[in-house]
């Protein structure tokens, strides 16, 4: 048993150190028990802001290790975004395919939307087959799946057949149950408060 001093501050520090030592031991044991290394299927969904932003943060982390990434944008590919301009500076490692034609309420043409998504998926499927690609970002794919512009069974089959060790991150609201079931990691962005509701428009550097 640790002897306590008459100094309350010192006793508090001692208790904190002992508590953290125990916590570290538990954490170290938990980390040591994990031995699997594999390519992950990750899904960012939910009504809150930040799904694509989180995916691009993961992309930046991958670039930090000098590994190649491919971005395929469904739906909102026509947008001129800050992340695209920034990542153009890494043209030796980043391939960016903006293949959407706008949100479905903008095009108002289901046949056209399906055709655009099919073209985008052909590019995505090619990237999934490449062993030199460490990460594939399928931005807003969940929207394409929600409206059945692409068959979720085929999408999941192509992802399952991807190059060994490759990571995939999918963004967009309303992820299909089948996709959630197949994923290794699912993050749901919760909406607590959004400036748009108070009349603030989409702004450069925040929304795009």
Euclidean distance between CA atoms 114 and 151, whole angstroms: 11
Residue 44 DSSP label? E
The 3-state DSSP class for residue 104 equals helix
pLDDT of residue 207: 81
User: Model-level pTM?
Assistant: 0.84
pLDDT per position as a tens digit, 94-118 = 999 988 765 555 667 888 889 999 9
Phi-psi domain of 102 (left: phi exceeds 0; alpha: psi -120 through 50; beta: other): left
Residues 6+ apart with CB under 8 A from 129: 161, 162, 163
pLDDT per position as a tens digit, 53-70 = 999 999 999 999 999 999
The long-range contacts involving 104-111, CB below 8 angstroms and separated by at least 24 positions, are 104/75, 104/143, 104/147, 110/147, 110/149
CATH of span 41-198: 3.40.50.300
Residue at token pair 């939910």: 46
DSSP 45-101: ESSSS-HHHHHHHHHHHHHTTT-EEEEEE-S-TT---HHHHHHGGGTTTEEEEE---
pLDDT of residue 9: 84
Range(s) of the chain covered by CATH 3.40.50.300: 41-198
């Amino acid at each position: 048993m640790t002897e306590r001093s008459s100094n309350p501050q010192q006793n508090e520090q001692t208790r904190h150190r002992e508590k953290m030592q125990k916590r570290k031991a538990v954490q170290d044991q938990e980390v040591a028990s994990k031995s699997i290394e594999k390519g992950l299927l990750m899904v960012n969904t939910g009504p809150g802001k930040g799904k694509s932003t989180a995916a691009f943060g993961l992309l930046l982390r991958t670039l930090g290790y000098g590994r190649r990434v491919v971005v395929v944008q469904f739906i909102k590919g026509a947008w001129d975004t800050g992340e695209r301009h920034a990542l153009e500076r890494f043209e030796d490692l980043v391939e960016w395919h903006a293949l959407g034609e706008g949100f479905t309420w903008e095009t108002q043409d289901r046949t056209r939307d399906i055709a655009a998504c099919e073209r985008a998926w052909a590019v995505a499927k090619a990237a999934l087959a490449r062993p030199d690609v460490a990460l594939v970002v399928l931005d807003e794919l969940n929207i394409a799946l929600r409206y059945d512009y692409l068959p979720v069974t085929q999408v999941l089959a192509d992802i399952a057949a991807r190059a060994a060790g490759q990571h995939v991150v999918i963004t967009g609201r309303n992820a299909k149950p089948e996709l959630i079931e197949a994923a290794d990691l699912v993050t749901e962005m919760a909406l607590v408060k959004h400036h748009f509701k108070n009349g603030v428009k989409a702004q450069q550097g925040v929304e795009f």
